[in-house]
């Protein structure tokens, strides 16, 4: 390679909700995928967590943008600013006279169109990536969970992210059947906002709805360990007087029911198309859940009952894709499923 110290290797999970960057087997960045832009100059004034604090609290001179929508780049310019800014944050720790060549592996949703794939590649290259490899997210999450993706065995992964739920059956280092549905964390958050509006007449922002989801999000009405009810304060829709409401996890399970049912339908749809030999492997090994959505209380139980196959939640499911891209980075020469 020559000058190997000038090549820097980065594995990136460019997610709708969060971006995670691994370097040398360590997480060097884990921030919300948000950038705050000054409307007059068009320059980024804050990224990640700092920009998230501004979200829904901006004045007219500032806008916060989530460049990724449904797992793909929706705002090309903002995405590039964000990727570049994040890489710069990672690099500010290195004092080097040279700008290193950056070798990157980036995860993309399995249902991405060629245009969407192009957008990720272009953004990564503009942000300084010299050697950019792309990996489908379900493949990355399978690697990150620790499955042997190259074995002649069927493994099934359901990765519920912020923008998409990726469902895939993997065997021999390739994706055999896959589906990418646009029902995931953001939709759950929207369901909660709508429910509070309809049932409690309270208007809440995305940020509060997300806090509720994390605090008491559940998908079955009878949990063994019950989270304490959550206190919400917001304006009454009609009078704008402050209203206080106490929300229980049962209510959340009720309002997420339809969206979770759509994920169940997606899983069954993929299972219908799975070749029988791989299907029997999956019944034997169970189905693996990853992504932030798999943290919803009672999800594995609900899905296991619905599908009659055991579901297992991965360890640290939020970072499964990032860990997988990190493993792929070490094996860019051997893994055939990486796209140049």
Alpha carbon 301 to its chain centroid, in Å, reads: 22
Both 170 and 292 in one domain: the answer is yes
Total of domains in the chain = 3
CATH number, residue 160: 3.30.420.40
> Does residue 340 fall inside a structural domain?
no
Greatest pairwise CA separation for the chain in angstroms: 69
The pLDDT of residue 7 is 76
Q: Is 14 left (phi over 0), alpha (psi -120 to 50) or beta?
A: beta
Both 132 and 233 in one domain: the answer is no
Both 171 and 283 in one domain: the answer is yes
What is the mean pLDDT for each group of 10 consecutive residues in the chain (340 residues)?
66 91 90 94 94 92 92 87 89 66 87 86 86 92 94 96 94 93 95 96 94 96 94 93 95 97 97 96 96 95 96 93 91 82
Roughly what angle, to the nearest 10 degrees, separates helices 114-126 and 76-91? 40
Per-residue DSSP letter, 6: G
> Does residue 338 fall inside a structural domain?
no
Domain boundary among 203, 222, 255: 255
Element (H, E) at 104: strand 101-108
Nearest to 175 by CA among 139, 121, 221, 141: 139
Both 38 and 111 in one domain: the answer is yes
> Does residue 337 fall inside a structural domain?
no
Both 235 and 281 in one domain: the answer is no
Nearest to 202 by CA among 230, 248, 236: 236
> Does residue 12 fall inside a structural domain?
yes
Both 173 and 194 in one domain: the answer is no
Q: How far apart are CA 127 and CA 162, in angstroms?
A: 23
The pLDDT of residue 1 is 41
Q: What share of the chain is helix, strand, coil (3-state, %, to 5)?
A: 40, 30, 30
Burial of 26 (0-12, 13-18, 19+ CB in 10 A): exposed
Both 98 and 123 in one domain: the answer is yes
Domain boundary among 224, 255, 286: 255
Both 125 and 90 in one domain: the answer is yes
Both 116 and 196 in one domain: the answer is no
Both 23 and 135 in one domain: the answer is yes
115, 144 Cβ separation under 8 angstroms:
no
The pLDDT of residue 94 is 65
Nearest to 318 by CA among 10, 11, 18, 14: 18
The pLDDT of residue 273 is 97
> Does residue 339 fall inside a structural domain?
no
> Does residue 233 fall inside a structural domain?
yes
Both 157 and 297 in one domain: the answer is yes
| Cross-strand pairs, 253 | none
Both 46 and 96 in one domain: the answer is yes
> Does residue 335 fall inside a structural domain?
no
Burial of 68 (0-12, 13-18, 19+ CB in 10 A): buried
**b/e per residue 189-217 (b: at least 16 CB within 10 A):** bebbbebbeeebebebeeebbbbbbeebb
> Does residue 230 fall inside a structural domain?
yes
Q: 3-state secondary structure string, 244-308?
A: EEEECHHHHHHHHHHHHHHHHHHHHHHHHHCCHHHHHHHHHHCEEEECHHHHCECHHHHHHHHHC
| Cross-strand pairs, 69 | 72
> Which residue range forms the structural domain that includes residue 238?
185-255
Length of the chain, in residues = 340
């Amino acid at each position: 390679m020559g000058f190997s110290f000038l090549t820097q290797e980065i594995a990136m999970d460019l997610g709708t909700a969060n971006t995670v960057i691994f370097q040398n087997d360590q997480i060097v960045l884990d921030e919300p995928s948000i950038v705050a832009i000054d409307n007059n100059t068009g320059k980024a004034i804050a990224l990640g967590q700092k920009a998230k604090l501004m979200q829904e609290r901006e004045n007219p001179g500032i806008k916060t943008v989530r460049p990724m929508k449904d797992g793909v780049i929706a705002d090309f310019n903002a995405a590039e600013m964000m990727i570049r800014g994040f890489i710069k944050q990672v690099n500010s720790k290195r004092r080097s006279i040279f700008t290193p060549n950056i070798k990157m592996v980036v995860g993309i949703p399995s249902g991405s169109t060629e245009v969407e794939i192009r957008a990720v590649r272009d953004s990564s290259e503009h942000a300084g990536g010299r050697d950019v490899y792309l990996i489908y997210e379900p493949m990355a999450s399978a690697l990150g969970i620790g499955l042997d993706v190259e074995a002649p065995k069927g493994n099934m992964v359901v990765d519920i992210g912020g923008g998409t739920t990726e469902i895939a059956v993997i065997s021999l280092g390739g994706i055999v059947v896959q589906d990418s549905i646009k029902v995931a964390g953001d939709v759950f958050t929207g369901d909660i906002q709508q429910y509070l509006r309809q049932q409690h007449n309270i208007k809440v922002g995305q940020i509060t709805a997300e806090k509720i989801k994390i605090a008491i999000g559940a998908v079955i009405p009878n949990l063994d360990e019950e989270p304490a009810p959550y206190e919400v304060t917001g304006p009454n829709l009609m009078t704008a007087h402050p209203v206080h409401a106490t929300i229980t996890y049962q209510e959340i399970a009720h309002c997420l029911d339809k969206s979770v049912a759509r994920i169940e339908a997606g899983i069954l749809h993929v299972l219908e198309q799975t070749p029988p030999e791989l299907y029997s492997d999956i019944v034997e090994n169970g189905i693996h859940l990853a992504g932030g959505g798999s943290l919803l209380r009672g999800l594995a139980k609900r899905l296991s009952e619905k599908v009659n196959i055991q579901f297992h939640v991965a360890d640290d499911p939020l970072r499964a894709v990032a860990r997988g891209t990190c493993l792929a980075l070490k094996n860019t020469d051997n893994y055939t499923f990486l796209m140049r």
